[in-house]
Structures are given as structure tokens and as C-alpha cells.
Amino acid sequence: MHGMHNPLLRRFSLAVALLAFAAVIGAQTPTTPSAQTPAWKSHSYPADGFSASFPSEPELQKRDVPTDAGSFELRSYIGQDGEVAMFIGVCDYGAQAAGKDPDVLLQGAKNGALTNSNSHLLSEKKMTLGIYRGLTFEAESDAAHFSARIYMVGTTLYQTLVVYPLGKPYADTTRFLDSFQLIARVAK
């Protein structure tokens, strides 16, 4: 994909990185909206332990995320549908997260994203994915709305996000977020 100057996707990149405790992922060029409904397809990533459906082929990006506890690899899977960006981020914090309260880690991820992306919280609710704790929330900045679900699975933070321009809700937000499933993790 080509670099671009879309403020929505730059903000999306910032919010995503902050959910992973700071780091910026590259902006993406949006696909041209089509008159047809995109063909959704399920994609499985056994090395990262999840599957999800996207309306376009997701692009994998890897970034090192610097934190106070050291540097961690964030693997980002990003798909697009016109001006809408869909993101799944996976970051294993290993021993740094072992034994910590998942609710505290989830709140820290959410609060960091809101503060550093200059967004305000619209709603928030605790949830689970199987036996794992999660948090779902909606937030807005001056240009974008995002719907997020984040989960702590052992020492791994999974982030699922849909970002779209203000005033232009994405009809398939729930479809994307609901498609995220944990699968057996296979060693790389």
C-alpha cells in the first residue's frame, strides 16, 4: 500500500499504537470505495492464535513497541473498506504481564489510548471472550470514531478496532468485532 496523508488513518494509527502502550504504526492508503459490497473472508493466524473476517486482505505490519518495561513486538493486521480501517493487534508482554490483574492492564491500555489520541470515552463495558477478560469501548476524537474490544489472554493483549469518520457509522462494525475468535496457537 502507498503512504498517504489521510488524518483519519493517522489518528487510527496513533490510537492503535497507544492501546499497545505507545508506538505509531504507519498510515495506510484507503481502498477506493466500490459500488459493490465487499466480499468478507475469514483469515486464520495460528502463530498469533486468532481468526477474524475482513472485507479486504489484511496487511501484516510488525513494529517494536517501546515501553517502560522494555520493547515488545506488536503484530498488526489491518484491513480497509473505503474510509474505514479495521485492526487487530497482538502483543505478548511475557513476564512483564505475568501475574498482573488483567482488568488493570486493560484499563491502562484504554486510558493511554484515550489520553494520547486526544479522544473522549463515550461508553465502556467489561466483557469476556470465553474465560478471558476483556473491555469494549467507544470513543471519539475531533475527526474519528472508534469501536474497540481488547482482551488479555494470559500475557498477550489482543486489540480489535474499527475506525471511521465522525458522522459516518460503519454498518459492519459489529460483524468485524464479533468475527474475532481465539484459535489454537501454533509455535512460529
Tell me if 58 sits within 8 A of 79, measured CB to CB. Answer: yes
Q: Tell me what pLDDT residue 68 has.
A: 67
If you write DSSP's letter for every residue of 45-102 in order, what string do you get?
ETTTTEEEEESSPPEEEEEEEEETTEEEEEEEEEEEETTEEEEEEEEE-GGGTTTS-H
Kindly tell me if the per-residue pLDDT of 30 is higher than 80. no
Kindly tell me if the per-residue pLDDT of 11 is higher than 50. no
Q: Which fold has domain 7-29+42-170?
A: Protein Transport Mog1p; Chain A (3.40.1000)
Any idea where the domains of the chain sit in the sequence? 7-29+42-170
pLDDT digits (tens, 9 = 90+) for 45-101: 999 999 999 999 999 999 987 766 778 899 999 999 999 999 999 999 888 888 889
